[in-house]
């Protein structure tokens, strides 16, 4: 007997929960998560960040409690961003090299208190410069090679403090090569480099700049070093460059507006590839959640799943703790 009905019924496997569970292609797990945390220079201090509802700046003693919680819920790695006191910011950002700066104190304290969680340290000068740029500025230009010399020192100080992953977010050309060489020379051949290779000059970073206190100070934009949002091939060349210089893994940033780049980078290079769901993406979701327009848990999980489906191995997200709690039921 022939039927005029469809011979292939795609709905068949969707018809029950157990079957949907069985055929599911991608999953978000706690192992996928990298949790970015903001640090302040206070004591027993937790400060709200108005443009990122639910995200806080923690003093070093308080951040330890958060990292312990993260570890107990199975989160793989935390990433640290300091809100450097204004009087420690300067034109040359030399506070970045202070082994006792806020960042390095936080790394050491976390390493001591929670030894088995990964610590990623951001390498760039923007939390330390009075102009908010990621590199040295001369006559309005961001200097490439002179900046790299400082970034290598910054990475070394962070590695000595106990950072497991060095994450250069500055977008200078050649910095992965220089940092790798500097780390190896000092005996840090096992310190990973996770490079923000495909980082766009995005308007989605606004709330982050509030969080680290550089939004008021930033002069100009970052378009001479971060990628043009219009460009995909150039993004692949950035990834290729960093991989050839020794990057262990690659970050695509922002996340949801650049899912195409996650897929292309993963398919082209087959490297460990991470999505960074940036501050503005988080804030957009939370603004809608606070208005009662979106369901927080559902949208959070769907957004992270989209990164896995696109090909990401893991995700930097401000939702990490909420996700871990959700997954731990
Ligand atoms: C700076 C840096 C930025 C972010 C991570 N590292 C901002 C920028 O480039 O201005 C953004 C992260 C976010 O928006 O969540 N080197």
Question: Domain residues of the chain, as ranges?
Answer: 27-327
Mutate to test the pocket of ligand 1, among 208, 225, 253, 277 (most ligand atoms within 8 A of CB): 208
With a cut of 50, list the residues of the chain below it in pLDDT: none
* CB of residue 316 inside a 6 A radius of ligand 1: no
* Closest CA to ligand 1's atom 2: 169
* Closest CA to ligand 1's atom 11: 205
Q: Length of the chain in residues, anyone?
A: 329
Q: Residue 277's pLDDT is what?
A: 98
* CB of residue 161 inside a 6 A radius of ligand 1: no
* CB of residue 242 inside a 6 A radius of ligand 1: no
Mutate to test the pocket of ligand 1, among 55, 80, 126, 203 (most ligand atoms within 8 A of CB): 126
pTM for the model: 0.97
Task: Measure Cα distances from 40 to 104, 154, 207, 211 in Å.
Answer: 12, 19, 16, 10
* Closest CA to ligand 1's atom 8: 205
Q: Residue 111's pLDDT is what?
A: 98
Q: Which residues are annotated as a binding site for Mg(2+)?
A: 238
CA of 205 to the centre of ligand 1 (A): 6
> What SS3 state is found at 235?
helix
- DSSP for 122-172? EE-STTTBTT--SS-EETTEEPSHHHHHHHHHHHHHHHHHT-SEEEE-S--
Q: Which residue has the tokens 């410069």?
A: 129
Catalytic residues: 199, 253
* CB of residue 210 inside a 6 A radius of ligand 1: no
Q: Residue 2's pLDDT is what?
A: 62
Q: What is the ipTM of this complex?
A: 0.97
* CATH H superfamily, domain 27-327: Aldolase class I (3.20.20.70)
* CB of residue 214 inside a 6 A radius of ligand 1: no
């Amino acid at each position: 007997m022939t039927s005029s009905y469809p011979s292939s019924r795609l709905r068949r496997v969707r018809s029950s929960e157990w079957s949907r569970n069985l055929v599911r292609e991608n999953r978000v797990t706690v192992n996928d998560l990298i949790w970015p945390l903001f640090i302040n220079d206070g004591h027993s201090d937790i400060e709200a960040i108005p443009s990122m509802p639910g995200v806080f700046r923690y003093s070093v003693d308080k951040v330890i409690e958060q990292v312990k919680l993260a570890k107990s819920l199975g989160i793989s790695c935390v990433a640290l961003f300091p809100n450097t006191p204004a009087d420690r910011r300067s034109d040359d950002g030399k506070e970045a090299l202070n082994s006792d700066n806020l960042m390095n104190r936080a790394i050491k304290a976390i390493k001591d208190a929670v030894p088995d969680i990964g610590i990623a340290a951001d390498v760039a000068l923007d939390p330390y410069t009075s102009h908010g740029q990621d590199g040295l500025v001369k006559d309005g230009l961001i200097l490439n090679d002179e900046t790299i010399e400082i970034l290598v020192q910054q990475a070394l100080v962070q590695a000595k403090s106990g950072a497991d992953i060095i994450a250069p977010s500055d977008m200078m050309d050649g910095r992965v090569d220089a940092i790798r060489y500097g780390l190896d020379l000092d005996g840090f051949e096992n310190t990973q480099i996770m490079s923000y290779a495909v980082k766009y000059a995005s308007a989605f970073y606004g709330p982050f700049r509030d969080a680290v206190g550089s939004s008021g100070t930033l002069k100009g934009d970052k378009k001479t070093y971060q990628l043009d949002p219009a460009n995909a091939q150039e993004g692949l060349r950035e990834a290729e460059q960093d991989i050839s210089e020794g990057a262990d893994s690659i970050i695509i940033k922002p996340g949801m507006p650049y899912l195409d780049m996650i897929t292309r980078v993963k398919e082209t290079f087959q490297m460990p590839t991470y999505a960074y769901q940036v501050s503005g993406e988080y804030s957009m979701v939370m603004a809608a959640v606070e208005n009662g327009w979106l369901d927080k848990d559902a949208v959070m999980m769907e957004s992270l799943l989209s990164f896995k489906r696109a090909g990401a191995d893991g995700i930097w997200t401000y939702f990490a703790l909420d996700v871990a709690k959700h997954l731990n039921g």
